[in-house]
Amino acid sequence: MRLLTPLRRGALAGLLLLAATVLSASAAGAVDARDVLGVAHAAGRYNFTGEDFLNEGADRVLELGSRVIKVFLYPGHMQELYPFNSDWTPLSADVVELAQRPYLQELFAKPFSTIILEITPVTISPQFLDGLTPEEAAAERDQMYRLAKYLLTTYAGSGKTFILQNWEGDHLLREGLAGGADPDPVRLQGMIDWWNARQDGVEQARQEVGPRGVQVLHAAEVNFLTDAMAGKVTATNNVIPYTHCDLYSYSSWDLDFTQAELTRALDYLQSKAPESKMLGRSNIYLGEYGMAKDQGAPTGERFERIRKLMEAALGWGVRYAVYWEVYCNEALQTYTGRPANQDLRGFWLIRPDGDKAPVWSSLASQLPAALHRVSLRSFSNQYFSVDPQGDGAVEARLWIRGNFWETFTLKDWNGGALMSGDEVSLQSHDGLYLSVDPGSGGQLWARASTAGPSERFVIRKIGDTGGPIVNGDSIALEVRSGRYLGVEVRGHGAIRALRFTPGPAEVLRYLGD
């Protein structure tokens, strides 16, 4: 085993800068889009450089501008997952020893803010299928404890977050079952005990090490939310409510690839997931999303659907949204040698011919933004709201803020702290952008799927005395015509852009961060 080598001077400087940036963003209440939108990297079928495959893919994620990556930490299987220019011998049977390998040391030293690690069960095939014995629970707890403790001590002060999660939980839960057969109560209880043992191991490490300027979290991932919403026996319905994990992830290949369906699925998962002791209700993320060439849409429409899934996730307010993936890992047809574009299913940021897929620019366009979760209240103390059953009109009618449709994702396109004069956009719960329609008397709607000129506003702090806009400040929103959004008292709460000077109806209370 090769021990950890000292971090290079440049890598250490990058880690210190990352830590300062993450702590600053956290203190300000905003989240940098680079720390939300991530990319997975595993088992790609081609490469381009002489660099080891794990770090080649990681460098492409950094080139994109993201600081979130998802990789696999599978003892005994790393050669298949990261094959090119790599030698993973001797095979490792232990996750801590594996995490100390030079390839992973190099990855962990890169300026990522969040590294999501897929961790197999101790026995690879789930040991909970016939129930989890106390000895099996102890082994699972110990694996996670030792890995969490290693990461907490080795990367102290880095500002990084490591997330330890399983691969798609519903597949694990149903392993070996005949089609249509439901998991029995013994199997369900075994999975409850398994996820809780993993969480307990991470918590034990955190308690022993204490605050060190680095986070290690544990997540449970599910993938059959469509079945769960139909009332079937699933990890979401029958396991998740009895767990106490830090985070809950959704691998979203079972839905209809629409914004509305993704929003409904995330709502449902949150309704089943217990509140996190560390993260509260901000404990849901999109562990995988994307769309293959053979999943029912021509190329242009396919990438537009992928973009809309990303927008829906940001509007919903997920903690992370991880695109699958850097290089495609699945064949569409039989081929020999290096695959061509047409040989693969199209899960890619970069195609085999070296061209970047449209999703690259979709992701890159979002990364300069700082993301805020906000509500807006009128001078009469009514909240801006979108009726999910309506036509998309944004109105100020409700006196009580609900869980979903009175909270918006505000994108500050200037990045950094939210300042008076910044250009911003607002997304509703399903990812649709708020925009002013001149054809309806300047009324505000949540209908647009992209942030064009009509979906961008200039935020103005009333009585601006300098400093960032913070919770409780009075603001106004100026549209591109120079008019300001205001609540029409006689218009049943309709919001229109009519006046060039903010009056009482145009003064809004900013609530967030």
Q: Between 397 and 11, where is the model more confident?
A: 397
H/E segment holding residue 205: helix 185-209
Indicate the range of 50-64, 399-413, 487-501 predicted with least confidence: 487-501
Please tell me the pTM assigned to this model: 0.93
In this prediction, residue 466 carries a pLDDT of 84
In this prediction, residue 12 carries a pLDDT of 39
Domains and CATH numbers, the chain: 33-366 (3.20.20.80), 370-512 (2.80.10.50)
pLDDT above 50 for 138: yes
CA distance 288 to 69: 11
The one-letter amino acid code at 137 reads A
Q: Tell me the pLDDT band of 1, cut-offs 50, 70 and 90.
A: very low
In this prediction, residue 420 carries a pLDDT of 96
Q: Can you tell me which residue has the tokens 């029958």?
A: 238
Residue 226 phi, psi dihedral angles, 5° rounding: -60, -45
Q: What is the largest CA-CA distance in the chain?
A: 75
Triad 66, 68, 71: Cα angle to 5°? 125
Dihedral sign (CA 428, 326, 144, 210): negative
Q: How far apart are the first and last CA of the chain?
A: 46
Q: Determine if the peptide bond prior to 506 is cis (ω within 30°).
A: no
Q: Tell me the pLDDT band of 366, cut-offs 50, 70 and 90.
A: very high
Residues 6+ apart with CB under 8 A from 229: 264, 265, 268
Tens-place pLDDT, residues 457-509: 999 999 988 899 999 999 999 999 999 999 987 667 899 999 999 999 999 99
CA distance 414 to 112: 21
What are the DSSP calls for 297-362, one per residue? --HHHHHHHHHHHHHHHHHHT-S-EEES-SS---BSS---SSPPGGGB----SB-TTSPBPHHHHH
Tens-place pLDDT, residues 244-261: 999 999 999 999 999 999
Q: Tell me the pLDDT band of 301, cut-offs 50, 70 and 90.
A: very high
Indicate the range of 14-18, 156-160, 362-366, 487-491 predicted with least confidence: 14-18
446 neighbors 434 (Cβ within 8 angstroms)? yes
CA distance 129 to 189: 9
In this prediction, residue 464 carries a pLDDT of 83
